[in-house]
Amino acid sequence: LDQMTKTLLRKRWLFPDEMKHLIHVTGERFPIP
């Protein structure tokens, strides 16, 4: 799941709302460029 998330982040496929959802679910913070 972590690898897939990183791939999606690289492709900028995730939207801000989805990022917030991921952060809430995983409890992790991803650096936003």
pLDDT tens sequence across 1-33: 678 777 777 776 656 777 777 776 766 666 655
How far apart CA 10 and CA 12 sit, in angstroms, is 5
What is residue 28's predicted lDDT score, i.e. its pLDDT? 66
Task: Break the chain down into helix, strand, coil percent, rounded to 5.
Answer: 60, 0, 40
pLDDT at residue 29, as a whole number? 65
pTM of the model: 0.29
